[in-house]
Amino acid sequence: MYVMKALLSRKLSALGLFIISVIILAAILAPWITPYPPELQLFEGLTLEGAPLPPNSQFWLGTDLLGRDLFSRLVYGAQTSLIIGVIANGTALFIGTLVGIVAGFYRGVIGAFLMRFTDLMMAFPALLLAIVLAAIFTPSLWIVAMVIAMVNWVQVARVIYSETVSLAERDFIVAERSLGASNFRILFKHIAPHLIYSTIVFGTLGISTTVLLEATLSFLGVGVQPPTPSWGNIIFENQTYFATAPWLVFLPGLGIVSLALGFNLVGDALREILDPTMKGKH
C-alpha cells in the first residue's frame, strides 16, 4: 500500500501507471471493444485500387494492406506484447535470480562455472542471439517468449550474484552459520528476502526491454508470425505504405514506445522508493 501511494504521489510514475493500466485494460477487454476480429479481411476495407483506407467512421484507425481493421489488430497486438512481456520477463527473472543466488552463495567451483557461463552468454549480442534462436525454432508466441527469456536472464544473474556475495559476508549471516543454520534456511530466510526489492525493480524495468525486443524480432520476421497480431509485425507488414499511409507504422510504433515508457517510469520510481540509498534524490 505504501509503495502504491508513493508511486501515485510522483507525477511521472503516476503517468506510467496510467499508461500501463489503459493498455492492460484494452488488452483484457479486446473481445468486447474491437469491432472486428483481428484477422478478418474486409472487401470494404480497401479502396478500389487496393490501398488501405484512412481513419473513418467505420474503421476508427483505418485499415491495413489486407483490409483488416487496424484498431482491432492494435488492441489484440497489445495482448501479444503483454503476454510475451510477462512470460519472457518472468522466466528470465527466475533463471537469473536462481543462477545468481546459487553462484553467489556457494561460490567455489559451482559459482565459477555458473558465472563463466553467464559471461559467455553476455559476450553474444542479445539481439543477434535472439535472431539465431528464433530462426532455429519455428516462431510462435511461446517460442518467442522463451527465446527472449534465454537472452535476458544474464543481466539479472550478474546483479543478484553481486548482491548475494555481499549479503553472504554480513555479520548476521556469519552468526547464523555459527549457530549451525542450514544452507537452505540461510538462503531462503535471510538472503532471498533481501533480494525481493531488486527482483521487483528488475521485473518492472525488464518488461519494457522485452516488449522492445519482441517488436524488433517481429519486425525482422522472426518473431510472432501473422495472422497473430503483434505491434512489431504490424509495422513489418505495412512498412511499404509508410509514405502514403503513415498511420499504419506510426500507431503501432506509438504503442510500443508508450508501453515501454510506462514500465520504465514505474521501474525507475520503484528503484528510488525501494532502495533506501536513493531516497531524497528524486
Instruction: Burial-class residue 149 by CB neighbours within 10 Å (0-12, 13-18, 19+).
Output: buried
Q: Residue 101: CB partners within 8 Å, gap ≥ 6?
A: 160, 161, 164, 187, 191, 192, 195
The three cell numbers of residue 32 are 468486447
19 vs 143: CA distance, rounded Å: 27
Which 3 state secondary structure label does DSSP give 18?
Answer: helix
Instruction: Give the number of C-alpha atoms closer than 13 A to the C-alpha of residue 106, restricted to the C-beta side.
Output: 15
Average pLDDT for 241-252: 89
- Give just the sign of the alpha carbon dihedral 263, 265, 271, 276: negative
pLDDT value at position 37?
92
Q: Nine-digit cell at 72? A: 482491432
Q: Which of 56, 50, 86 is nearest to 69 (CA)?
A: 56
Residues 179-233: tens digit of each pLDDT = 777 778 888 888 888 888 888 888 888 888 888 888 888 888 888 888 889 898 8
Distance between CA 182 and CA 246 in Å, rounded? 62
- The residues with which 46 forms a beta bridge, in sequence order, are 52
User: Which of 17-26, 173-182, 267-276: highest mean pLDDT?
Assistant: 17-26
Return the DSSP state at 240.
G
pLDDT at 149 over 60: yes
**Bigger pLDDT: 179 or 79?**
79
| pLDDT tens digits, one per residue of 82-103 | 998 889 999 999 999 999 999 9
Give the distance from CA 240 to its chain's centroid: 28
What's the rounded Cα separation, in Å, for the pair 40 and 45?
10
Instruction: Give the predicted TM-score (pTM) of the model.
Output: 0.86
| CA gap 200, 29 in Å, rounded | 27
Q: How far apart are CA 192 and CA 33, in angstroms?
A: 42
Structural contact between residues 45 and 94, judged by C-beta atoms closer than 8 angstroms: no
Residue bearing the bigger pLDDT, 118 or 280: 118
Please name each of the domains of the chain with its CATH number: 2-34+61-278 (1.10.3720.10)
- Indicate the length of the chain as a whole number: 282
Better-predicted residue by pLDDT, 20 or 197: 20
pLDDT, position 282: 47
